[in-house]
Amino acid sequence: MIDFYTAATPNGWKIGLLLEELGAEYTVKPISLSDGEQKTPEYLKINPNGRIPTIVDRDADNFAVFESGAIMIYLAEKFGRFLPLNVKGRSHVLQWLMFQMSGVGPMQGQANVFHRYFDEKIPAVIDRYQNETRRLYEVLDRQLEGRDYLCDEYSIADMATWPWVGIAFWAGVSTDGLDNLGAWIKRIGSRDAAQKAITIPHPIDFSDSTATEDAEKMAKSILTK
């Protein structure tokens, strides 16, 4: 059994997606970011960085894993799926996983902050992060030319990246003209596991003004903690 500490964010959704694809037994432990639950002494014992997501593997002496990429590698190795065993195949998937962790996530995350949440709108900064996120999307689009998934076979690299690219609009970044990427977004989004993942720990309707206001309130509160 896996205890899954999470909130409704792309980094949380990627772990939910993998858990669902694996058919793993897990218990959701919602973390209220706006209430600062990620900074409590109890939570910091399992995640010293005070962020989500975190898992605790109750079947492995309550082994805790933090950082979403590390969690994905741990689960893929534990269950023997979505990460190739051969050296080259494994490296290929890990390269694209790190591309998400070091590029797409941080750049789009900053685009989110300065486009959506930062009180002072600084055009040069917004352009910087939106343009860099778009550039990264173009890299993904080229990689997807002639293939269904980033590394040919569906892997943790796809699962890590899809939750971010799937809400590009939230960062004010366009995917227009990126046909390979657009098809890939729909391909993964049609999977039952993906549809379930984005409701964990609760669904967010970005078209609903109340949900949008709640999301912005949560994000602003995080910026001050």
The two tokens of residue 79 are 């269950």
Q: Poorest-confidence range of 11-15, 136-140, 184-188, 206-210? A: 206-210
CA 124 – CA 75 distance, rounded (Å): 40
107, 133 Cβ separation under 8 angstroms: yes
CA 78 – CA 83 distance, rounded (Å): 10
> What are the CA-CA distances from residue 13 to residues 9, 58, 167, 202 (Å)?
6, 21, 12, 11
- Residue 220's pLDDT band (cuts 50, 70, 90): very low
Query: Would the pTM count as exceeding 0.85?
Result: yes
Q: Which of 3.30.1540.10, 3.40.30.10, 3.30.1490.20, 3.10.20.30 is the CATH number of 2-81? A: 3.40.30.10
pLDDT tens per residue across span 107-148: 999 999 999 888 889 999 999 999 999 999 999 999 999 999
pLDDT tens per residue across span 20-38: 999 999 999 999 999 999 9
Which residues are 28's β-sheet partners? 4
Domain 87-190 fold is Glutathione S-transferase Yfyf (Class Pi); Chain A, domain 2 (1.20.1050)
> What are the CA-CA distances from residue 134 to residues 130, 153, 181, 189 (Å)?
6, 24, 11, 20
The three-class DSSP label of residue 30 is strand
Query: What are the sequence ranges of the domains in the chain?
Result: 2-81, 87-190
% of the chain exceeding 70 in pLDDT: 91
Q: Residue written as tokens 């898992």?
A: 55
- Residue 213's pLDDT band (cuts 50, 70, 90): low
- Residue 203's pLDDT band (cuts 50, 70, 90): confident
* Cis check: omega of the bond before 53, within 30 degrees of 0: yes
> What are the CA-CA distances from residue 68 to residues 9, 12, 112, 131, 164 (Å)?
11, 8, 19, 25, 13
